[in-house]
Amino acid sequence: DQQVKQNSPSLSVQEGRISILNCDYTNSMFDYFLWYKKYPAEGPTFLISISSIKDKNEDGRFTVFLNKSAKHLSLHIVPSQPGDSAVYFCAASPLGRYIFGTGTRLKVLA
């Protein structure tokens, strides 16, 4: 059974609008969460992370929100740009090991 789930395989958003990518997890012992972005023919690149002791972390256009009671993580990108089109993976980290979701393909329309 998957411990980290990204239930939306794809998402399309108009340029300039907000993109919201969602992730759910099952294990309340996870202590760190990360988002990675992957372009075709490249490896995943680290985007942003959040510790389980926080509920929000912001880095420029990217903000990650953590709702521990709901075991839910989300990534907000605002404003969205065409260059943000990629596959986004969330990962949960128990003690430094990563457990990944299946990814959400984001397409930002110009």
Partner 1 sequence: ETGVTQTPRHLVMGMTNKKSLKCEQHLGHNAMYWYKQSAKKPLELMFVYSLEERVENNSVPSRFSPECPNSSHLFLHLHTLQPEDSALYLCASSQATGTPGDTQYFGPGTRLTVL
Could you list the residues that contact partner 1 (CB under 8 A)? Answer: 2, 4, 31-32, 34, 36, 41-46, 49, 51, 89, 93, 95-103
SS3 30: coil
Nearer to partner 1, 60 or 96 (CB): 96
- Rounded to a whole number of angstroms, the minimum distance from the CB of residue 33 to partner 1 is 10
60/42 Cα distance (integer angstroms): 23
Size of the chain in residues: 110
Nearer to partner 1, 24 or 80 (CB): 24
54/8 Cα distance (integer angstroms): 25
62: its two tokens: 């990217």
Nearer to partner 1, 80 or 87 (CB): 87
